Amino acid sequence: MLEKLFIRNFAIIDRLEIDLPKGFTVLTGETGAGKSIIIDAVTVVTGGQGLTEFIRSGEEKAVVEAVFDIGVNAKAKKILEEYGLLPEEGDSLILTREIVKTGKNLCRVNGRQVNLSVLKDIAKTLVDIYGQHHQQSLLDPLKHIELLDDYGGDQMRGLRKKLSSAYRDIAALEARIREMEADEKERVRKIDIYKYQLEEIDGIGPVEGEDSSLEEEKNILANAERLSVLYNTAYELLYEGGRQKAVTDLLHEAASNLKEACSVDPAAGPLTETVESALYQLEEVARDIRKRCSSLETDPLKLDEVENRLALIRQLKKKYGDTINEILKYREEVASSLIVLDNFDEELSRTKKFMEEAKKHYDSIAGETSSQRRKTADTIRELITRELIELNMPHVTFDISITSGNRPTENGYDEVEFLISPNLGEPLKPLAKIVSGGEVSRIMLAFKKILAKIDSVFTLIFDEVDAGIGGNAIQAVAQKLSSIGTDRQVICVTHSPQIAARADNHFIITKETGESRTFTKIYGLSPEERIDEIARMLGGGKITAVTRKHAEEILKEKDTLNLLF
């Protein structure tokens, strides 16, 4: 249940703290005092739209905090555990919402920041708020299926989850098939492009690293004459000599001298070996230079061939990648895409087969869901009728129409609409076309009453559920709210003295003016103060001896009824 509500800088509320008891509680006060603002604050802290307009004038942010006791709320504990937010000690759960002028919203659960979607998921298990917009949803046939399914409980929620998943599968496959069939011209165009690209790359046939080798070959061919001169000069200096002795000849002489020195000085041995080793290496180098020089070609045709090959590779690089490796990778991608496009008919056929299987799966779940809905409708039809009779609609006939549509939807094939005949002898007609505002309120109250029996939500909040209701009907509504309050926490904003008199707890909302600001305050009423407030409500704002006596009689009647019920 909702134990405490703390509101700061919210609309005309400066600072407000409310301790809320069990049972049936009413909030009353003059028009404009801020009764509905408190409901707006609860709506915001449980995940409703956090508009910056809610921030009190002159302030930077608004804060709403709600403290719940979740001791017997297994569903709330389960979802908190799933999110890793279950309190370590005790059964208190604190929801906090901050609305900042910049538009930023901060949501916290037990002090830990969470996303708005998480806050909403948790709040759904804690509190159910019924305001004027809920009446509009009751008049919208598209919302009727949701109300019917709500009564189906966990079993229906499980079926709806499966149905929604199956629907998303067939919707995705339908979109894929439409896309494939619509893109036939594009497919043919892509095939032509890919084939051309594949032929161009394969026609040139680049090999990884080939461009580097060709550049090297090109440089050698372009400089063959100069290289020949350089190699020949180096060879002569090392081996053949010319006007002067070659290096190898000089090393020969050096080695001979060192060998002769060895006969006198043994230390010359290692020196001789080093010189001879250098000699052998230089002779090897000289032979390699000779071979390299002999292999050089001065071939303009070969040079043209290499340059043309490099030009072709550069052409591919401009189109398909900066390196040969990238070109070859692109070639593989094109080849794979071409296989898919060439096998379009097979792919389309396979996708349609998947679609048929997904449709069968969907139809199976939709059939099971529809069957369960019809069973639920039979039960809820009787319960709603009984509740409406108790709500002073003695001749009402209520029915639920379930027809089958032609196309699959997230809800299945079923189309659900509530039908009603408020008076004896009148035919059943759609709810939206026949009911008055007071009748809508009573029908929604009837739904809340029967749903409260199966729903884990312990706190029900009603904002002006008495709108459009008077006479004996208001007494019936008052009794119904009191009845719900026996096993649920019911909080009701009301202008009706009959409803206020039936409550277990009574708070008054007042609007007070300070030096330059207006403030909303809330007070719990004592028995004597309660008589005065109900007298005010009976007298249209004035308290007289007559209205006060009437208020005392209503409260005594409430005590008598409590003994009876």
In a domain, 358, yes or no: no
Percentage of residues of the chain with pLDDT beyond 90 = 38
For residues 28 and 112, state if they share a domain: yes
Kindly write down the DSSP assignment for every residue of 264-333, as one continuous string.
T-TTHHHHHHHHHHHHHHHHHHHHHHHHHHHH----HHHHHHHHHHHHHHHHHHHHH-SSHHHHHHHHHH
Residues 6+ apart with CB under 8 A from 53: none
pLDDT of 17 strictly over 70: yes
SS3 track for 101-117:
CCCCEEEEECCEEECHH
Q: What is the DSSP letter of 457?
A: -
In a domain, 430, yes or no: no
For residues 16 and 88, state if they share a domain: yes
Q: Look up residue 557 and give its two tokens.
A: 């009647």
Domain count, the chain: 2
For all residues of the chain together, what is the average pLDDT? 86
In a domain, 265, yes or no: yes
For residues 329 and 214, state if they share a domain: yes
In a domain, 388, yes or no: no
pLDDT of residue 137: 64
Give 111-120's long-range contacts (Cβ < 8 A, gap of 24+).
112/85, 114/83, 114/85, 116/47, 118/83, 118/85, 119/46, 119/47, 119/95, 120/46, 120/47
- Nearest Cα residue to 380 out of 130, 135, 145, 128: 145
Element containing residue 490 per DSSP (H, E): strand 489-493
Overall average pLDDT of the 325-342 stretch: 89
Q: What is the DSSP letter of 40?
A: H
In a domain, 93, yes or no: yes
Range of the domain at 254: 199-341
The last residue of a domain, from among 278, 309, 341: 341
Overall average pLDDT of the 306-316 stretch: 87
> What CATH number has the domain bearing residue 90?
3.40.50.300
Position with higher pLDDT, 519 vs 516: 519
In a domain, 125, yes or no: yes
pLDDT tens by residue, 94-145: 999 999 998 888 999 999 999 999 999 999 889 988 876 566 667 788 888 9
pLDDT of 499 strictly over 60: yes
